[in-house]
Amino acid sequence: MTEIESKLLECMKAVFPTIPEESLPDASVANLEQWDSLATVTIVALIEESFEIEVEPADLVKLTSIRNIVAFLKEHGAKTEVH
């Protein structure tokens, strides 16, 4: 697991505390009922805070699964030493 993945997992655990940790890496809007619009907003705020990046409104549609978020973070040069 990369540093970005590990840190993102911590964020996801904060948003979805009742979901087993092993299920989180495969989580997406499609397969996780609790991942609603409110959860998306919280995830966005957490990754902005934790990785020191800014998410543009147009990018929101890309952030629909953990894998997509990891790709997005890598693409935007997310910092990992912040958290």
Partner 1 sequence: MRLFDALKILQNTDATLPRFEVYLACGCTPLHLQTFLAAALQLRLPSHRAQVSVGMFGNLAGNIGQMTEGSASAGVVLLEWPDLDPRLGIRRVSGWNWKDLPTIADDARHMLQRLKRMLLAAAERQRVVVCLPTLPFPLLSSNNPATISPMQADVELALAEMRSQLLQHPSITVLKPAIFGEHIFDPAGELSFGFPYALSHASSLAKQIAEVVCIAPSKKGVITDLDLTVWNGILGEDGVDGVHWDLEHHAQSYGIYQQLLHALAKEGVLIAAASKNNAEAVQRIFTQREDLILKKEDIFPLVANWRPKSEIVGNILKTWNVGADSVVFIEDNAFELEEVGRKFPEMECIRFDPSPRFVMHLWQDLRVKFARRTVSEEDRIRSTSIRVMVESKQLSNDNVDMEEFLERLEATLKFDFSRNSGDERAFELINKTNQFNLNGVRLTDAEFRSYLAQEGSFLLTVSYSDKFGSLGKVSSLLGRIKGDEILVDSWVLSCRAFSRRIEFACLLALFDFCSAQQIQILWRRTDRNSYLQEFLSQLPGETIEASIKIDREKFRRACPALHLTTTSNTAKELEIQA
Contact status: 64 vs partner 1 (CB under 8 A): no
Per-residue interface string for the shown chain with partner 1, residues 24-43, x marking contact by CB under 8 A: --------------x--xx-
Angle at CA of residue 77, ends 75 and 82, nearest 5° = 140
Kindly state the helix (H) or strand (E) to which residue 66 belongs, with its residue range. Answer: helix 66-75
Query: For partner 1, which residue of 22, 30, 33, 56 counts as binding (CB under 8 A)?
Result: 56
Residue type (1 letter), 72: F
Residue 39's alpha-carbon distances to 13, 46, 54, in angstroms, are: 12, 10, 17
Say whether residue 77 binds partner 1 (CB under 8 A).
Answer: no
Q: 42 or 80, CB closer to partner 1? A: 42
Selected from 49, 62, 67, 75, the binder of partner 1 by CB under 8 A is 49
Nearer to partner 1, 56 or 81 (CB): 56
**DSSP 8-state assignment for residue 80:** S
